[in-house]
Structure 1
Amino acid sequence: MKVIILGAGVIGVTSAYQLAKAGHEVTVIDRQPGPALETSFANAGEVSFGYCGPWAAPGIPMKAIKWIFMEHAPLILRPKLDRAMLSWLVRMLANCTSERYAINKGRMLRLADYSRIALADLRAETAIEYDERMKGTLQLFRSQQQLDASAKDVKALAADGIPYEVLDPNGCIAVEPALAHVREKFVGGLLTPKDETGDCFKFTNALAAKAEALGVRFLYGTEIKGIDVEGRKVKGVVTDRGNFSADSVVVALGSYSPLLLRAHGIKLPVYPVKGYSLTIPIVEPTRAPESTIMDETFKIAITRLGDRIRVGGMAEISGYTNDLGARRRSTLEHSVTDLFPGGDVGKATFWSGLRPMTPDGTPIIGPTPISGLFLNTGHGTLGWTMSTGSARVLADMVGGKRPEIDTGGLSIARYGSAQG
Structure 2
Amino acid sequence: MKIVVLGAGVIGVTSAWQLARAGHEVTVIDRQPAAALETSFANAGEISPGYSSPWAAPGIPMKALKWMFMEHSPLIIQPRPDPAKIRFLFQMLGNCSSAAYAVNKARMVRLAEYSRDCLTEIRTETGIAFDERQQGTLQLFRSQKQLDAAGKDTEVLREGGVPFELLDVAGCLATEPGLHDAAGKIVGGLRLPKDETGDCFKFTQGLATLAAGLGVRFRHGVTIQRLVQSGGRIGSVLTSEGEVTADAFVVALASHSPRLLAPLGMKLPVYPFKGYSITVPITDATRAPVSTVMDESHKIAITRLGDRIRVGGMAELAGFDLSLSEKRKRTLVHSVEDLFGGAGDQSKASFWTGLRPMTPDGTPVVGRTPMANLFLNTGHGTLGWTMAAGSARVLADVVSGRPTEIESADLGFSRYLRGADRTRAKLRLQPVAG
Q: Work out whether the TM-score is over 0.5.
A: yes
Structure 2 partner of 1:400: 401
| 1:55-109: CA deviation from partner (whole Å, max 9, x where unpaired) | 1111100001101110000000013322211111001011111111000000000
Structure 1 partner of 2:356: 355
User: What runs of 5+ residues in structure 2 fail to find an aligned partner?
Assistant: 426-434
Establish whether residue 211 from structure 1 lines up as the match of residue 211 from structure 2: yes
Structure 2 partner of 1:228: 228
Q: How far apart, in 1, do the equivalents of 2:58 and 2:186 lie?
A: 23
Structure 1 partner of 2:428: none
- Amino acid in the other structure paired with 2:129: E
- Percent of residue pairs bearing the same amino acid type: 62
Q: How far apart, in 2, do the equivalents of 1:81 and 1:260 lie?
A: 22
Structure 2 partner of 1:26: 26
TM-score, normalised with respect to structure 1: 0.99
Query: How do 1:360-379 residues align onto structure 2 when only pairs under 5 Å count?
Result: 360-379=361-380
| 1:23-76: CA deviation from partner (whole Å, max 9, x where unpaired) | 000000000000000000000000011111101111100001101110000000
Shift of 1:408: 2.9
Shift of 1:409: 1.4
| 1:5-32: CA deviation from partner (whole Å, max 9, x where unpaired) | 0000000000000000000000000000
- Amino acid in the other structure paired with 1:47: I
- Amino acid in the other structure paired with 1:226: R
Q: How far apart, in 2, do the equivalents of 1:89 and 1:231 lie?
A: 35
Establish whether residue 109 from structure 1 lines up as the match of residue 109 from structure 2: yes
Q: How far apart, in 2, do the equivalents of 1:292 and 1:146 lie?
A: 18
| 1:285-338: CA deviation from partner (whole Å, max 9, x where unpaired) | 111000000000000000000000000000001101111111100000000000
Shift of 1:231: 1.0
Establish whether residue 159 from structure 1 lines up as the match of residue 150 from structure 2: no
Q: How far apart, in 1, do the equivalents of 2:219 and 2:104 lie?
A: 35
| 1:191-235: CA deviation from partner (whole Å, max 9, x where unpaired) | 001100000000000000010000000000000011121011111
- Amino acid in the other structure paired with 1:41: F
Q: How far apart, in 2, do the equivalents of 1:10 and 1:80 lie?
A: 31
| 1:93-134: CA deviation from partner (whole Å, max 9, x where unpaired) | 111111110000000000001001101111110000000000
Q: Secondary structure at the match of 1:324?
A: coil
Query: How do 1:192-271 residues align onto structure 2 when only pairs under 5 Å count?
Result: 192-271=192-271
Establish whether residue 409 from structure 1 lines up as the match of residue 405 from structure 2: no
TM-score, normalised with respect to structure 2: 0.96
Q: How far apart, in 1, do the equivalents of 2:52 and 2:389 lie?
A: 15
| 1:163-215: CA deviation from partner (whole Å, max 9, x where unpaired) | 10000011111110111121101000000011000000000000000100000
Structure 2 partner of 1:131: 131
- Amino acid in the other structure paired with 1:17: W
Q: How far apart, in 1, do the equivalents of 2:226 and 2:198 lie?
A: 34
Q: How far apart, in 1, do the equivalents of 2:80 and 2:234 lie?
A: 34
Q: Secondary structure at the match of 1:172?
A: helix
- Amino acid in the other structure paired with 2:409: G
Establish whether residue 53 from structure 1 lines up as the match of residue 53 from structure 2: yes
Structure 1 partner of 2:276: 276
Structure 2 partner of 1:381: 382
- Amino acid in the other structure paired with 1:388: A
Q: How far apart, in 1, do the equivalents of 2:24 and 2:149 lie?
A: 47
| 1:371-390: CA deviation from partner (whole Å, max 9, x where unpaired) | 20000000000000000000
Q: How far apart, in 2, do the equivalents of 1:136 and 1:271 lie?
A: 30
- Amino acid in the other structure paired with 1:100: A
Q: Secondary structure at the match of 2:17?
A: helix
Q: How far apart, in 1, do the equivalents of 2:232 and 2:79 lie?
A: 36
User: What runs of 5+ residues in structure 1 fail to find an aligned partner?
Assistant: none
Between 1:407-416 and 1:220-229, the stretch displaced more is 407-416
- Amino acid in the other structure paired with 1:264: L
Q: How far apart, in 2, do the equivalents of 1:359 and 1:279 lie?
A: 29
Shift of 1:258: 0.1
Structure 1 partner of 2:429: none
Structure 2 partner of 1:85: 85
| 1:227-262: CA deviation from partner (whole Å, max 9, x where unpaired) | 121011111211011111100000000000000111
Structure 1 partner of 2:392: 391
| 1:140-177: CA deviation from partner (whole Å, max 9, x where unpaired) | 00000000011111011001000100000111111101
Shift of 1:355: 0.1
Give the aligned CA root-mean-square deviation in angstroms. 1.1
Establish whether residue 97 from structure 1 lines up as the match of residue 76 from structure 2: no
| 1:380-405: CA deviation from partner (whole Å, max 9, x where unpaired) | 00000000000000000001111000
- Amino acid in the other structure paired with 1:273: F
Q: How far apart, in 2, do the equivalents of 1:258 and 1:128 lie?
A: 32
Query: How do 1:274-313 residues align onto structure 2 when only pairs under 5 Å count?
Result: 274-313=274-313
Q: Secondary structure at the match of 1:5?
A: strand
Q: How far apart, in 2, do the equivalents of 1:413 and 1:244 lie?
A: 27
Establish whether residue 44 from structure 1 lines up as the match of residue 44 from structure 2: yes
Structure 2 partner of 1:6: 6
Q: How far apart, in 2, do the equivalents of 1:286 and 1:230 lie?
A: 61
Q: How far apart, in 2, do the equivalents of 1:252 and 1:415 lie?
A: 18
Query: How do 1:331-346 residues align onto structure 2 when only pairs under 5 Å count?
Result: 331-341=331-341, 342-346=343-347
Q: How far apart, in 2, do the equivalents of 1:150 and 1:33 lie?
A: 43
Q: Secondary structure at the match of 1:150?
A: helix
- Amino acid in the other structure paired with 2:236: G
- Amino acid in the other structure paired with 2:247: D
- Amino acid in the other structure paired with 2:293: I
Q: How far apart, in 1, do the equivalents of 2:158 and 2:226 lie?
A: 44
Q: Secondary structure at the match of 2:122?
A: helix
- Amino acid in the other structure paired with 2:392: A
Q: How far apart, in 2, do the equivalents of 1:25 and 1:333 lie?
A: 45
